[in-house]
Structure 1
Amino acid sequence: MKVIIIIFGICVLNACKGKELKKVRGSYISSVADTTKIGCNCFFESFKKDANGDTIFRKTTTDPVFPFGSDSCARFLNKNINPAMPKKLGAPAGTYLVDVRLVVSKKGGISQLTALTKNGYGMEKEVVRVVKKLKQFKPAELNGRNVAAYKDVFFRFNVK
């Protein structure tokens, strides 16, 4: 099964290589890519609109980034998240990964924070609370212009 997936992925990437992108219903696709949306670099899938009416992209030329780098973002999260909260709320011992998705606007503002995991014990609420404080990102780019895009922020809780 793994071999088939790898070969299929290589075929699609080779088919997309060097092809011109065209806009179809708000999405940029290669003239040879079909609508299976398998994540080829030449396929830029648009999804929804943000509060400003701008299309939110999943795949972009460059991803949205925290202005001072991912290390700075990680330090901010570690400094501001209360790691004891899950234990106080009765979480069993273990390691929990929290994934929060947000939209970074083409101006760099953040909105639409959504917890994608459901660990409970206040973990997702705590990460969302702190991520809201990040306020500003460097926006994603698509073909040289700033665009709204999704960004996932991860945080790991170690409950002992």
Structure 2
Amino acid sequence: MKTLTMLLIAMVGLFALTGTPATYAQTEEKVYNEVDKSPEFPGGFSAMYAFMGKTIRYPEEASRKRIQGKVVTAFVVGEDGTIRDIVIEKSAGYGMDEEAVRVIKAMPKWIPGERQGQKVAVYYKMPINFALN
């Protein structure tokens, strides 16, 4: 069996849009774009990269066709650190979108973001690059 290695680069950032809270239809909780303290994966970026490297499986169709791509995801990190409302903002297809969502759903609770000393829900964007070596 041919061994494929994957280079996974997850560029993570909180994108400030308007500085005002957004309201999501699924909940009455206000979701902020701009906060004093960004939500954080438990253990920080290095722990997140390790988790993703261990959890992600390169989609079979993309691997077979030697397809690479970037999936831009967005989700809400709730006041309690749970991840919800995952959406694909930029699709790569070939099973990469579904794999990105699966891995995000598998993440543990995050350390929530804060605004004025209070835990708040925060809109978060995470691009995930799929690359074959």
Counterpart AA for 1:144: G
Residue in structure 1 matched with residue 129 of structure 2 by the alignment: 156
* 2:63 match: 87
8 A contact 1:55–1:148 mirrored in 2: yes
- Cα deviation for residue 101 of structure 1 reads 1.0
Partner of 1:32: none
Structure 2: runs of 5+ lacking an equivalent: 1-15
What amino acid maps onto 2:120 in structure 1?
V
TM-score, normalising length from structure 1? 0.65
Counterpart among 41, 44, 69 of residue 69 in structure 1? 44
RMSD of aligned Cα (Å): 2.1
Q: Report the 3-state secondary structure (helix = DSSP H, G, I; strand = E; otherwise coil) of the residue aligned with 2:39.
A: coil
Q: Secondary structure at the match of 1:114?
A: strand
Deviation at 1:77, TM superposition (A): 0.7
* CA positional deviation for 1:154: 2.6
- The 4+ residue runs of structure 1 with deviation greater than 4 A are none
What is the aligned-residue identity percentage? 24
Aligned residue pairs: how many?
A: 117
Q: CA deviation at 1:66?
A: 0.5
Residue 52 (structure 1) shift: 4.5
**Which has more radius of gyration?**
1
What is the distance in 2 between the residues matched to 1:134 and 1:50? 23
Gaps of 5+ in 1: 1-38
Once the two structures are superposed, residues 107-139 of structure 1 have per-residue CA deviations (whole angstroms, 9 ceiling, x without a partner) of 111110111111100101001101101130011
Structure 2 residue 112 is matched with structure 1 residue 120: no
* Residue in structure 2 matched with residue 57 of structure 1 by the alignment: 32
Q: Does 1:109 align with 2:82?
A: yes
Counterpart residue type for residue 49 of structure 2? A
Instruction: Output the TM-score relative to the length of structure 2.
Output: 0.77
Q: Give SS of 2:101's match.
A: helix
